[in-house]
Amino acid sequence: MTQAIRPRAADAPEPTRTNVPTADSHDDTRTAMSSTTIRRAFLDHVFYTQGKLPGLASRNDLYQALAHTVRDRLVQRWISTAEAYLGQPSRTVAYLSAEFLIGPHLANNLVNLGILDEVEAAMAELDIELGDLLAQEVEPGLGNGGLGRLAACFMDSLATMQIPALGYGIRYEYGIFHQSIVDGMQVESTDTWLRHGNPWEIQRPELAVEVKLGGHTEHYTDDRGRYRVRWVPAKTVVGVPFDSPVLGYRVNTVNTLRLWRAEATEAFDFNVFNRGDYLGAVNKKVTSENLTKVLYPNDETEQGKELRLEQQYFFVSCSLKDMLRLLDVHGIPISRFHEKFAVQLNDTHPSIGIAELMRLLVDDHDMAWEEAWEITRQAFAYTNHTLLPEALECWPLPLFARTLPRHLEIIYEINARFLNEVRIRFFGDDSRLSRLSLIGGNNDFIRMANLACVGSHAINGVAQLHSRLMREDVLKDFHAMWPDKFTNITNGVTPRRWLVVSNPRLSKLACEAIGDGWIRNLSELRGLEPYAEDAGFRERWQRMRNANKNDLARVIREVTGVVVDPTSMFDVMVKRIHEYKRQHLAVLHIVALYHRIKSDPNADIQPRTFLFGGKAAPGYHYAKLMIRFITAVGDVVNRDPQVRDRLKVVFLPNFNVTYGQRIYPAADLSEQISLAGKEASGTGNMKFAMNGAITIGTMDGANIELRDEIGADNFFPFGLSASEVYALKASGYRPLSVYESDPELRAVIDLVRQGFFSKGDPSVFQPLFDGLLQHDPYLLLADFASYVHCQQDVSNAYADQDRWQRMSVLSCARSGHFSSDRAIQEYAERVWRVQPVPVSLLRASMAASARRNAQAGTE
Ligand SMILES: *Cc1c(COP(=O)(O)O)cnc(C)c1O
């Protein structure tokens, strides 16, 4: 599957070609960046790497060849970075995340290297359209949504800011499932992203590590009379790292994304347990390799899945052992682990790392508990991502004991010491003890969030509101214990991928107006503010946005067959499908508009194209029904001759980063309508705003800060606030009385309940609407009138295009706060205490002479 490891640049022979221009002053001839050199290198890769004559190469061959051409230029910087880090051993961020939703590599790397034009020219000389090759890339879908995408944005910002960092995660053989829509319903299929190979990774078998699982522990006294524990596992698997280079924007820093793949340990399986049972042994090998086969789609609850616990432990154990190896490479004693590594937990998924580092230090490295605990606590920091209590990870104790018997003992010990501290601090407060305990119920389950809080020196939420609710609600007992551990760092997104790569037209306009400093320092977009008052600029801005809308209209037509009017308002909601995000509220608004037109064909309705996209977890039936509701309403609306020229409803299947890059830049209206208090931050909201879409949103997550930055005049807020939600629920919310008192809402709901959108069959959407009328846990009915009213304000604003374009320019101009560079700067100062390490480019010839011992250069 993987490409053969190419010779390192360091081992490459001196270039002998004489007709290669030497215009590239800073660079080796072989990896020079002129279009001529790139073209030659590309043709070499078609021939030597793909093994094809150019005339016979498939489009995929050409893509692979170009990817390798670009990779060579990354590798040169990658090795330079490793050398720089080795020469200046500074603190390194280890970002642990079960998900990295990185998106396609090629275009991003061309932008960050600064060779987009050269490559385009090189391809053009060969009659190849660069766009065709870019379209060939299959994106690695190694994440579910926002959380995985955040990790990817952070990797980009870390490299751009020249901060030494390693991303550690799992190399899932199948990423997030592929979604298609059949008869209006979601159908899942496997995501075989590796089927054509992955030119962006290098396998490092020499850095493989062993991971134990299951079995039991044995307690004994060692020859020095000390109490010791030995873990006798039921099985071991091998973790093999696959490294991908993460290049910063126009710098030489290339950090590493190191993803682990599980393989079988042949010696163990074949010789010890399965002697004479060859097929049994092969079977065992297959079982081991299942560990990293598939990404779990995040279901309603994340509980009780054995393989998932094994996945989490597997990648965390591999990563910590890799960090210990790096300490060794750098000659740093293990007692200084926390000085070398700032380990960030992206949610609780990797929090077992706290117990694993304790085990490695105490059991494997003979360290005293107290010292190990100091090191662990100073190394780890935890980012909380959810306020939904059902999404806080808990592992059933029997499952945990079966999988990680030694870690259970360690967690008991951590808990006992911690609860002793609590007993003294909060004398006689037994209920507090049980709330804080790492063990829940009656010794029933392990609370991973509690483990993360106890074992970390810093705990952060991802937007101001979220951090406040975290302090006051989900983690309030920990906040009472350690207020100083808590901080907020509002999420951000990388402007490289979400503006420069995905919206070249906007980027060009911005660069012409204010230069290109905003690409590294997004707050410079403020320089665009005065242009909002410049009619000529507004006209160019509108043309740019229309061109993006035309592009998206073409994509929609190609994928769904639906023809949409690019002059209509593009009203967009793309994100995971979930009750708390309330896609069904957006649909109720569409039904309300439909009902208005049917009741009065001359009603003044702003033409809109409603675009939805997003995946529902395969086991989340309610969310799948929400998709069916969207497509069912679309079927009627798009067909009705009275309506279809004014309203269109499209569900674009398989929303992912690649589609996001087409969608965010083409949206007029950004739907951010979660129930207040439920969305931790959201990052889609930031991508839309940066690209000039106007937001209609609740006062939830980062929407609040977005409105503060963009200005209340340029934001459409509606709905209950988080505290109003709380008060309404406390006072006894009755959705039925809302239904009874609002004639439009009643008409809308009755239309659906009668089966109007389900060919007369009222049973299809009955589960949706029974829930709404009886409990309505996400307060759709309570927010309906406010939402529909606010949407009328949106329509009025859009009708005044001058006003709308002014708002759009301001939205972009004032979005600088939402760069992930700003977020990373805050983590670097307040949580990690890390400094940039600039990297200078090593020439291949210099690298050859400066080469160190064989261990070096793997960070
Ligand atoms: C940004 C992004 C998300 C997160 O969107 P939210 O609106 O914040 O939920 C999910 N999926 C993809 C592919 C994204 O790019």
- Segment 207-227, tens digit of pLDDT: 999 999 999 999 999 989 889
- Residues 356-366 have pLDDT tens digits of 999 999 999 99
Residue with the larger pLDDT of the pair 303 and 239: 239
In this predicted structure, the answer to whether residue 390 has a pLDDT above a threshold of 80 is: no
Residue 660 Cα to ligand 1 middle (Å): 8
Tokens 């049972």 found at: 277
* Cα–Cα distance for residue pair 107/771, rounded to 1 Å: 45
CA 315 to chain centre: 17
Across 153-285, the runs of DSSP E, i.e. the strands, are 165-170, 178-182, 185-189, 202-203, 209-213, 216-221, 227-232, 235-247, 254-264
Q: Across the strands, what pairs with 203? A: 242
The mean-pLDDT minimum among 51-65, 231-245, 302-316, 594-608 falls in: 302-316
Residue with the larger pLDDT of the pair 426 and 268: 426
**What angle do helix axes 352-359 and 369-379 make, rounded to 10 degrees?**
140
In this predicted structure, the answer to whether residue 7 has a pLDDT above a threshold of 90 is: no
Confidence bin at 271 (pLDDT 50/70/90): low
In this predicted structure, the answer to whether residue 20 has a pLDDT above a threshold of 50 is: no
Pick from 442, 448, 222: which is nearest to 316 by CA? 448
- Residues 148-161 have pLDDT tens digits of 999 999 999 999 99
476 carries an active-site annotation: no
Mean pLDDT of 715-729: 98
Mean pLDDT of 632-652: 97
The pLDDT value given to residue 484: 98
The mean-pLDDT minimum among 22-36, 53-67, 230-244, 492-506 falls in: 22-36
In this predicted structure, the answer to whether residue 12 has a pLDDT above a threshold of 90 is: no
∠ CA(583), CA(782), CA(738), 5° rounding? Answer: 120
**Which amino acid residue places its CA nearest to atom 12 of ligand 1?**
145
The pLDDT value given to residue 582: 98
Tokens 């011992």 found at: 853
**Which amino acid residue places its CA nearest to atom 1 of ligand 1?**
684
Kindly state the tokens that stand for 106.
């090629």
For a mutational test of ligand 1's pocket, the pick from 153, 154, 575, i.e. the residue with the most ligand atoms closer than 8 A to its C-beta, is 575
∠ CA(18), CA(23), CA(28), 5° rounding? Answer: 70
**Which amino acid residue places its CA nearest to atom 8 of ligand 1?**
682
* Cα–Cα distance for residue pair 341/360, rounded to 1 Å: 15
Say how many Å lie between the first and final Cα of the chain, rounded. 24
Tokens 């305990």 found at: 437
Q: Which of 348, 386, 683, 695 is catalytic?
A: 683
687 carries an active-site annotation: yes
**Which amino acid residue places its CA nearest to atom 5 of ligand 1?**
684
Q: Which of 284, 687, 753, 843 is catalytic?
A: 687
The pLDDT value given to residue 277: 73
Pick from 790, 301, 297, 754: which is nearest to 585 by CA? 790
Across 681-809, the runs of DSSP E, i.e. the strands, are 694-697, 715-717
The pLDDT value given to residue 4: 32
Ligand 1 pocket, Cβ-based, cut-off 6 angstroms:
145-146, 149, 575-576, 655-657, 660, 682-684, 687
DSSP 128-178: --HHHHHTTPPP--BSSSHHHHHHHHHHHHHHHTT--EEEEEE--SB-SPE
**Which amino acid residue places its CA nearest to atom 7 of ligand 1?**
684
In this predicted structure, the answer to whether residue 300 has a pLDDT above a threshold of 90 is: no
Percentage of residues in the chain having pLDDT higher than 70: 93
Mean pLDDT of 520-549: 98
The pLDDT value given to residue 149: 98
648 carries an active-site annotation: no
The atom of ligand 1 lying closest to the CA of 681 is 8
Average predicted confidence (pLDDT) for the chain: 93
- Residues 735-786 have pLDDT tens digits of 999 999 999 999 999 999 999 999 999 999 999 998 999 999 999 999 999 9
Q: Across the strands, what pairs with 263? A: 238
